Amino acid sequence: MYRKSALPELLAPAGDMSCLYAAVAGGADAIYVGGKRFGARAFAKNFDIDELRAAVRYCHIHGVRLYVTLNTLIEDKEMAEAVEYAAELYRIGVDALIVADLGVMSAIRRHIPGLELHASTQMSVHNALGACAAYKLGAERVVVARELSLADITNVVEYSPCEIEVFLHGALCVCYSGQCLFSSLVGGRSGNRGECAQPCRLPYNGGSYPLSLKDLSLADHIPELIESGVASLKIEGRMKAPEYVYTVTSIYRRLLDEGRSATKAENEILRRAFSRGGFTDGYFTGRTEKGMTGIRSEADKQDSKALSLGSIEQKKKAVTASVTLRLGEPAMMTITDGIRKAIVYGNSPTVAENSPLTEDGVKARLAKMGNTLLSLSPEDISLTLDDNINLPPSALNALRRSAAELFESCERELGEIKYKPLYKRAHVSLTTAQFFSEESFLAACGHPRMADIDIAFLPHTASVDRLARAGGVYLPPVIFDSEQDEVVKALENARNNGVMYALVSNIGQIGLVKSLGMKIVGDFRLNVTNGESRRVYAEMGVEHIILSPELTLPQARDIGGGLITYGRIPLMITERCFIGENFGCKSCNKCSLTDRKGEKFPMMREFEHRNIIFNSVPTYMGDRSGELVSYGIASEHMIFSVENGREIISVLDASAENMPLTRRVRRVGRR
């Protein structure tokens, strides 16, 4: 779906009101902000509800749309509050919500059907199938992954029924958004809940910064972006200062209006505003190379500190007015800016006993807009005034206030919201296992304990004989449109040879697998943290779901589904091949990142040349079967990544005998 206007929307960030003023002054078409809860930047200043109401009024007065982020994963106990919060945002006139959780999207769509929803980049949509799936679930716009190239973006735009938004400028996550568990499982601060501790910005392997990417800048690609048909171009930076917001927004405003790429001087201004040793356009151009990495140097910091614009204050909106004051008729005042219009009525003038109203006096009083967002000159007031009439100053003031308030008002009517969950806890007993190495699977296959696994999943690239023996195939987390045919052929081949189950990890894969007649198991990458999400996936055809590893045992109990009871949980999936860049191709699947504490995080290649970074320690609950039973956890999932056949057998034996492992492990929490 191509955009509705000649140019893409320029979408700017704002972490507080001063940044909002800067974004409007810089020429943004729309602004996105976060509230005090449920936003992916929990440590930004963010807006309370009164500030959001003021922000909506200010933006709408100046013809700017306002979006609010509700883009964290939601827990069951928070769902009613999240829906009521969305309702309040609708009432105050917010134009759209940016959401990441399918459960909250479904609940909002059910209770507030008039509220526009945008699928956050946290939903990991990276192809046309994913965009189509998000649209069917209620998203009018999809923010696609930052890792897409121009060709990928253009293809998604062409084959998607919804608007497509892409990131234009700002910080890059090294992991696909929505797929990063590094901060959560290692540091206890969930990126999916807005608390990311940015482990990608830390040193590894003796002091290097292999995971720290330079900031994105597509200032040299504006003509291609316009031609691509994308609906919106997004500037990152809700944690940034007003100077950054204004500088970056104003430059891109000029580039879009003039349909050109940035000059050398403009690129230098962008760099000084904020960079990490310069910029990268590697994903957009398809050049995902080592030059994409960078850290923020002292020189970068000094350049940004030198950026000064002075105070950016509220900008008044110039309006015109027409006023009619006739004897015995209600006073009438109309305010307009040529687009919006407000008409109000007041008290009726009476015959003047002395000191009748004069044209200059009336205009002077009505032009006093005071603390409103409007600017009205006496010369811009058209006045129809009967002779020898009077109206008290208080009545004229009330007429002016009513007109200004109505013109600024953005409120919408919505009755009381009573959230009602539609889901019921699922009761399924199933043991599944994912094997990243078909060789390790074969080495363990002869062991009797393998019979305890109901379905084993091997990569789609595994041989048909081995897939048939396993019974299941897992789809890679990322499949670009250009890679889809290869994956589909492999799935068809597997299905034709008796493989009935597929492990899916993205909403775009569900319809594809269903069309092949295969049964669907949802991977933990679907980020199910509430019963509403589980219900949505069930309605889409997912027969069994592996819940998010960020859940506690009580939370998993209340939702129903499978838990990871063994495995080094994947912490990141990266578009770049860090193995090849830092260790060489001969080290593929044999290397790791070592952090400052000496913890080693194994790395493996994923389809095509993407990388997966695994946790340094495995999760293990095999010796706590009684605890799992007490919480009603009947389904278990195991992940075997770097383990060899002997190690896999030892895990299966220990789990069967409810015994601990002899190495350090991570546990699923009780609270």
DSSP 22-45: HHHHHT-SEEEEEBSSS-S-TTS-
Amino acid present at 608? E
Q: What is the mean pLDDT of residues 13-36?
A: 95
Q: Closest Cα partner for 74 from 46, 116, 38?
A: 38
Q: Is 122 helix (H, G, I), strand (E, B) or coil?
A: helix
Q: Is 99 helix (H, G, I), strand (E, B) or coil?
A: strand
Pairing of strands 279-280, 215-217: parallel
DSSP 3-state helix, strand, coil percentages of the chain (rounded to 5)?
Answer: 40, 20, 40
- 122-142 pLDDT, tens digit each: 999 999 999 999 999 999 999
Residue 241 has pLDDT above 80, yes or no: yes
What letter does residue 316 receive in the DSSP assignment?
P
* 328: exposed, middle or buried (Cβ count in 10 Å: 0-12, 13-18, 19+): exposed
Q: What is the mean pLDDT of residues 11-37?
A: 95
Query: So what's the pLDDT on residue 13?
Result: 97
What does the buried/exposed string (b/e) look like for 560-585 if buried means 16 or more CB atoms within 10 Å of the residue's CB? bbbbbbbbbbbbbbbbbbbbbbbbee
Beta-bridge mates of residue 293: 213
Kindly report the average pLDDT of the chain as a whole number.
94
- 349-389 pLDDT, tens digit each: 999 988 899 999 999 999 999 999 999 999 999 999 999 99
Query: So what's the pLDDT on residue 39?
Result: 67
Same fold: 9-172+215-261 with 431-568+619-656: yes
Q: What is the mean pLDDT of residues 569-584?
A: 93
Residue 311 has pLDDT above 80, yes or no: no
Residue 248 has pLDDT above 90, yes or no: yes
Position of tokens 């001969």? 586
pTM: 0.95
Q: Closest Cα partner for 289 from 609, 617, 553, 638?
A: 609
Q: What is the mean pLDDT of residues 597-617?
A: 96
Residue 84 has pLDDT above 70, yes or no: yes
Show Cβ contacts of residue 459 under 8 Å, excluding neighbours closer than 6 positions.
436, 438, 473, 474, 476, 607
Q: Closest Cα partner for 435 from 484, 471, 398, 478?
A: 471
Q: Give the model's confidence band at 40: pLDDT under 50 very low, under 70 low, under 90 confident, else very high.
A: low
In sign, the C-alpha dihedral spanning 244, 289, 190, 556 is: positive
Where residue 229 falls (left for φ over 0; alpha for ψ -120 to 50; beta otherwise) is left
- 546-to-67, 514, 516, 521 alpha-carbon distances in Å: 32, 18, 22, 8
Q: What is the mean pLDDT of residues 81-99?
A: 97
Q: Give the model's confidence band at 514: pLDDT under 50 very low, under 70 low, under 90 confident, else very high.
A: very high
Percent residues over pLDDT 90 in the chain: 89
Q: Give the model's confidence band at 2: pLDDT under 50 very low, under 70 low, under 90 confident, else very high.
A: confident
Residue 44 has pLDDT above 70, yes or no: no
List the chain domain ranges: 9-172+215-261, 317-408, 431-568+619-656
Q: What is the mean pLDDT of residues 425-448?
A: 90
Please give the Cα distance from 576 to 308 (Å, whole number).
Answer: 36
Please give the Cα distance from 537 to 543 (Å, whole number).
Answer: 8
Q: Give the model's confidence band at 652: pLDDT under 50 very low, under 70 low, under 90 confident, else very high.
A: very high
Q: What is the mean pLDDT of residues 145-161?
A: 97
- 30-to-12, 59, 95, 233, 313 alpha-carbon distances in Å: 6, 8, 9, 10, 18
Please give the CATH architecture assigned to the domain spanning 431-568+619-656.
Alpha-Beta Barrel (3.20)
The CATH code belonging to domain 9-172+215-261 is: 3.20.20.70
- 443-498 pLDDT, tens digit each: 999 899 999 999 999 999 999 999 999 999 999 999 999 999 999 999 999 999 99
Beta-bridge mates of residue 119: 99, 142
In sign, the C-alpha dihedral spanning 107, 111, 115, 116 is: positive
Q: Torsion angle, CA of 116/117/118/121, rounded to 10 degrees?
A: 160
Q: What is the mean pLDDT of residues 603-629?
A: 95
Q: What is the mean pLDDT of residues 576-580?
A: 91
Q: Give the model's confidence band at 426: pLDDT under 50 very low, under 70 low, under 90 confident, else very high.
A: confident
Beta-bridge mates of residue 435: 640
Residue 43 has pLDDT above 70, yes or no: no
Are 296 and 276 within 8 A, CB to CB? yes
Q: Torsion angle, CA of 547/550/556/561, rounded to 10 degrees?
A: 10
Query: So what's the pLDDT on residue 670?
Result: 84
- 50-64 pLDDT, tens digit each: 999 999 999 999 999
